[in-house]
Amino acid sequence: MRIASSCFVALVCCGLVRSARADDGMWPFDMVPKAQIKKDHGVDLTDAWLDHVRLSSVRISAGGSGSFVSSTGLVLTNHHVASDCIAKVSSSGHNYMDEGYLAGKDGAEVSCPDIELDQLQAMEDISDKVHGARAAGMSDADANVAVKGAMTKQEQECQDRTHLRCEAVTLYAGGKYMLYEYKRYTDVRLVFAPEATLAFFGGDPDNFTYPRFDIDMALFRVYEAGKPLAPAHFLKWSEQGPKENDTVFVSGHPGSTGRLQTKAQLERSRDTIYPFVTDNLKQEAALLHTYGKQSHEDDREARESIFGVENSIKALTGYQGGLKDPALMKQKADDEAALVKAIKADAKLSASYGATFDDVAKVQTKVGAIYKQFSVLERGGDSSILQLAKTLVRLPDELAQPNEKRLREYRDSALDSLKLELFSGAAVYGGVEVVLVRAWMENAARVLVGKPILEKILHGKTPAVAAQELVASTRLFDVYTRRQLFAGGKPAIDASTDPAIVLMRALDQDARAVRKDYEDTVEAPMRALGEKVAQATFAVRGPSMPPDATFTLRLSTGVAKGYKENGKDVPWATDFAGMYAHATGKDPFKLPQKILDAKPRLTPTTKVNFVSTDDIIGGNSGSPVIAVDGSIVGLIFDGNISSLPNRFVYREVTERAVSVDTAAMTEALSKVYGADTIVKELTGH
């Protein structure tokens, strides 16, 4: 049954969505509640202002956000977003994570091997075209396939027509579908990065905390046709940063939230998914730390993986803390109970949606039986070698099918990005790969115990031995080998004796089967039910919330202000004086020598970090913080620990976004690193 209604789509598309408070939400740019923002903040956002901010913002394929900040293509983002590039252009002789990097002093503006930047050009509603793929009488499983095929078709037609990167975006759990058109940039070069010890000062102990004292920044430059890009839109640089109680906006790409999920979905995340993922990450982190302690070079090679794993663990722990909070879960339960009561009180709504929430709960009971196998066999682990092997094994079979019938990650509109990763010349470190393959195999041994497929993975060996042998024998570290396998197509893949290829080839049928089982059992019914939940919510309450985050461009509104915690006032901003006081001289509270030497030159009261009530989540890292006049005044790099449960319910009592102040970035560039040319490019003087 087709469950989207023209009424729902019209409400969303005609801009009738309103929030009780404009600050509660990460709003797509075509849905920004301008009237509510004016009411709450006295700020009149124009379409020209929104267009300028949108076209100044970029999505970074490493998993974060950024913005154009100069007329010659400089892009500002976080060090921890840029670290994927920084680590890959480093070597045993030049460790730019430790040393920092300044083009002109340390070398040329160096190309990042496999980073893409996406600039959102246009948005088009394709809801009717996608919903129309669900024919009367279709099963949920068949409808799920048809909907994804329609999304792929719309993407390809758009790409053929515009020559842009086109993505079909699911909003409101399928209540609305949008086509986003992106300008894609792949010639991205590193211009500046401070030492990691300054960017991530305080290390994991300070991560997701506040007060903070981090200069978590980096600068790329985008090139086009071999020359620096001259973007038509970029954010004017503020040398002073914001003032306390200023209204500030964040334009970025939040990854995902679960505010529109039902209580049953949140309970499944709490009881099954988050514990499973967190436990696996902790075991992976322990192996990585053991490896990194062997030598300084091993530590360099493992550092990026360690940061990613530890950051994920801390984030998941925060999310889990929210779902274990009786007050938060009671709020969700009471909210859902009131909605169900209103639905059942209306005969028409009850006929359409009376069983919806119970049906969601029934589907969620099936997740536990399949999720772990799906995670192990289809999602796989963090090993680059195994992911490369899986891609090579699947590509010939997928490319032999019509575009609309392929797995979504192999559709034509995604192939350029897939090939960028597949043929990246970035170093893949053997020692780290042994750890990551072993971690995946150990997870497989726990989940697949007693199942015949485990023999295909381990062949009777321990995960430690099997991982060591596979990594020692594979040739997939060599990009030319990967190119030859790709060019040879299915005959080359079928004939390959490379152990990574052999393993992924042996697992492919089982992995595809568990994926189909998951899609038919969980994804397909939840696509239909999620759409009904949105329908029911809007029917009772009107469209009062933005859609959950989807790593697409959003605007959030907030105020730069502190908060009270445990009876104590937490200041809205920190300064250089506080940074030096926070330093102990021992890791992770050891400042780099350059900033120690620069202490007499720095103004102690210059703001370093500040907090605001802007609504953010993972993926917003690197987002610009923007003043009412459209200038950039800060750089999002974190949220405090209490903000993590905002993934499910937005609150702003103690919950805050944490940013680097442009005043600190300006002063550090000039007085610590002598990057006066960059400062002039940013400020115009």
Tens of pLDDT, residues 385-419: 999 999 999 999 999 999 999 999 999 999 999 99
| pLDDT exceeds 90 at position 4 | no
pLDDT at 22: 57
**Res 180: pLDDT:** 98
In the predicted model, is pLDDT for residue 544 greater than 90? no
Please return the burial class of 402, using the count of CB atoms within 10 Å of its CB with bins 0-12, 13-18 and 19+. exposed
Q: Using CA of residue 149, residue 151, residue 155, residue 157, what is the dihedral sign?
A: positive
Contact yes or no for 125/178 (Cβ under 8 A) = yes
Distances (CA, A) of 381 to 346, 384, 512: 48, 9, 16
Q: Which of 614, 619, 618 is nearest to 658 (CA)?
A: 614
Interior angle at CA 552, CA 643 and CA 201, nearest 5? 45
The answer to whether the beta carbons of residues 520 and 527 sit under 8 Å apart is no
- What does the pLDDT read at residue 538? 87
One-letter amino acid for residue 168 of the chain: A
513 pLDDT above the threshold of 90: yes
pLDDT in tens, 210-255: 999 999 999 999 999 999 999 999 999 999 999 999 999 999 999 9
Q: Are 194 and 668 in contact (CB under 8 A)?
A: yes
Mean pLDDT of 30-39: 95
Strand ranges for 104-145 from DSSP E: 110-111, 117-125
Give the number of residues written for the chain. Answer: 685
> What's the average model confidence in pLDDT over 140-158?
97
- Distance of CA 16 to CAs 7, 9, 538, 543, Å? 11, 11, 11, 7
533: nearest Cα among 356, 355, 346: 356
265, HSE (Cβ side, Cα atoms, 13 Å): 21
Q: Residue 24: pLDDT band by 50, 70, 90 thresholds?
A: confident
Q: How far is CA 12 from CA 6, 468, 565, in A?
A: 10, 54, 38
Amino acid 219 reads L
Which H helix or E strand runs over 193? strand 188-193
Q: Strand, helix or coil at 374?
A: helix
Q: How many CB atoms lie within 10 A of CB 673?
A: 20
Q: Which residues of 616-642 are buried (b: 16+ CB within 10 A; e: fewer)?
A: bbbbbbbbbbbbbebbbbbbbbbbbbb
CA torsion 272-638-559-118 (nearest 10°) is -90
- Alpha-helix residue ranges (DSSP H) falling in 20-162: 34-41, 47-56, 79-89, 96-99, 127-131, 140-162
Are 363 and 525 in contact, with CB atoms under 8 Å apart? yes
Q: How confident is the model at residue 21 (pLDDT cuts 50, 70, 90)?
A: low
Q: Are the C-beta atoms of 235 and 56 separated by less than 8 Å?
A: yes
User: Across the chain, what does the average pLDDT equal?
Assistant: 95
pTM of the model: 0.94
Q: Is residue 643 within 8 Å of 563, Cβ to Cβ?
A: no
Is 81 a residue whose pLDDT tops 70? yes
Whether the pLDDT of residue 5 is over 50: the answer is no
Task: State residue 13's pLDDT score.
Answer: 36
CA dihedral sign of residues 130, 134, 139, 142: negative
Q: What is the mean pLDDT of residues 317-346?
A: 97
**pLDDT at residue 14 tops 60:** no
